[in-house]
Structure formats: C-alpha cells, structure tokens
Structure 1
Amino acid sequence: MSLASMAHRRYDTGWYRNACVWKKGTAMSLGIYPKPDLSRTGEVVTRPHEDGVIVRRADERALPALGMPGGENHDTVRLLLDGNDTRGAAAVVEYTISPQGDGPGLHWHRTYDEYFYVVSGKLSMQAAGRSAVFQPRDFVFVPRGVIHDFWNDSAAIPCIFVSGWTPAGSEGVWKIDDLPSDVRSDPVRMLAALDSLIDIVPVEGTRIPIAD
C-alpha cells in the first residue's frame, strides 16, 4: 500500500495525525484530532469553477496594528483574507513589527487556532511555557487555549510575518469602519463590539527568557 493510499484511508476513517516540533527539535507532541467537518467551512464543491480568486498586491494599504505599541515606527497589518472571502473558514493577515516592537502581551484565544509564518527579520515568540526566536520560513501553529505572545527583539530590523486563524472572525477589529455609525459613536458599545471580535484573553505574567 502506498503512503498516499494509507493517508487517504486513514483520513476516511475520521482521524488524522498532526505533529508539532518546537524550535531545534527540543520537544515534540503527537496527537490524534477529529476529521474536519467540511459543512462548517462552506459547501462541498463537486465540479471546478473560476469564481472567488483573490489577489492582494504588496503595495496595498496597511492598517495600524491594534494593541501593539511598537518601537520607533508604527506596527502595521495588511488584511489578506477575511471571513467573507473564505465562508468563515479562515482569515489571514500580514504583520510588520517595528524594531523593538513589543507585541500584544501574553494572551490566549477561546474560539480560534492561530498560525505564524516568518517572511523576513526575526520573530520572538513564547507559547506553552517556552520561548524561541524564529527565522524566515519558520512556521508555528498555536491551538486555541494556548497562552502565547510575540514580539521583535531586534534593535534595527523590522519583522514581517503572516498570521492566520481558523475560523475567521477576529479580523473584524481592523474593519471597524464597517460597524454601524451609532455603535462607532458610542465608546461603550464600540469597546464591547471590539471585545467580541478580537477574542483575546490577557494573562498576567512575565516573558520566559530565550535560551542562547
């Protein structure tokens, strides 16, 4: 039996394997997860079509990154995909963290999983009680419920990385202009709307030093 047929057969039985290796291979976790429910991510397509292709050019306008004070420059976000583009399945953004950008602080999410892919510079991260520095082309997946944080330790070089989450929803914090005018004009209702969108549960504590 080929590896492909084995993988297909295992997937059809309702489970699949997912392994996560921390930086330098210092730890590995292996788990069995339920087969994804395709009905939650939209209709099952039965024949090819040409609708829905989305392109974001590199020079498209970036938005301020909420909750990330940054260093000398302003941190920015480019919204690449939102829930309207993916039937609610996922959202993707591109972050630019300025030198010494401090990140959002320790937090976790109740309703979505998150991933990080470093494009340029170096991204410092803490997740599940471990800290590491990630280089371009490194990838990190953080399941919902895992406490984490990210920042840029470099004194001179910005860090650009792509982050996404499943399902979509929290990207709405960068689309506040789409909220009704009566909500935007009321600070209490505005804060409540943002809180319901961003799903960030802050955690008190200090960052774990990164080992040399």
Structure 2
Amino acid sequence: MRDSFDPSASEIETTTAEEGKTRKRPRPGERRLQILQVLAEMLQNPKGERVTTAALAAKIQVSEAALYRHFASKAQMFEGLISFIEQTVFGLINQINQKEESGLAQARGILQMLLFFAEKNPGMTRVLLGDALLQEDDRLQERITQVLDRVETSLKQALRIAQTQGGTWANVSQDEVSIRAAMLMSYVLGRWHRFARSGFKKLPTEASDISLRILLSE
C-alpha cells in the first residue's frame, strides 16, 4: 500500500573514479521527487517550524536556484505534496469501497485508513491540517479544504449505503447522515491535531477500534 514516500525511490547513484566519488546527473523526475521527499521529512519537525527554501536547499545540498529549476515556486512544491495526498487517499478509498459491500464497513475502513495514513506520514499530517500552509499561498488552503470535503463526501456515501442495507441504520434520516459524516470527519481531524500537538507522540490509531465502534453504532 502506498502510504508514504519511499526514500529508496530517489536515491542518486554514484560512481567511483580515481579522484573519488562523483555524483551522476539525476534521472528525469528524480530530483523533483527528492525535493518533495525532503520537504515532507522536514515538516515532521515536532516544533512545527516553517520550512524555508534556503533550509530545504541546504538539506538537499543544492542551491535555491536548483530548486526553482524543478518547481516554479514554493507553493508548487506544496501542491506536489497535496497531489500525493489526494492520489493516495482516494486511491485507497476506492480500494476499500471495492472490497467492502457493507456501507458501515466502508466507513470504518476509510476512517482507519485516514488515521493510519497520518501516523505513517507525520509531515503530511501538517499539510492536511493546514499548519504547514500558514503564510503560504492562500490557494493551498483552499486546495486542502477541497480534499477534506471530498473525503467527507466519501464517508457520507458510505453511510447512505448503510441506510439501504437494513438494520438500525435504515431508520436514519438523510439529514442525520450528513451530520454523522461531519461528526466522523471532526473525529479524524481531532486525532490529527492531537498527534501534531503531541510532537507526533500520541498516535492517531490509539484505541481507534473502540472509538470507531462507538461512533458507527446506532
């Protein structure tokens, strides 16, 4: 399951000459991926400090000008991270929906996946919460809000399926389904905030089975 960037995917090969080791030119797209990987790693700083392009360039050991050969702006780098989140999260939601026929099982799977994704990708959690996007381009906040709205819609769709499958959920109104979906999303956001505020020590998945059983009960 593609939960996080694989550092090995962007390793730069080196060759040893008589003068010592020399770095080969990165393959197409390799440096771009490396920049996004290192940015995500730097966002894992428990202090939540803002990442500057100067610090990012220093971490990669390239010039700031080299960064801008791959990304037109810092905002575009964050857009790359948001695209990764979007593709991964909705790819996993599709897998869950294809695997599970039960609407409640779909909702539970989506919620568990969101908690697990944050736990495995602390830096991405700060992007999802918008913390890492403060003082950046406003459109980034709008973009991540759209992603979260789509996730809530996916939860709502799963609960609507549960309505049609009989049992106690058959008596739940459409308005209540929307309220429930919003409540579940608030639970996830709360877990993410708790994780980030604790310096990534209080894991989002802690006792999540019990929490989800209560939240999805009727």
Q: Scaled by the length of structure 2, what TM-score is found? A: 0.26
- Which structure exhibits the higher relative contact order, with contacts defined as CA atoms closer than 8 Å and separated by 6 or more residues? 2
More helix per residue: 2
Q: Scaled by the length of structure 1, what TM-score is found? A: 0.27
Structure with higher Rg: it is 2
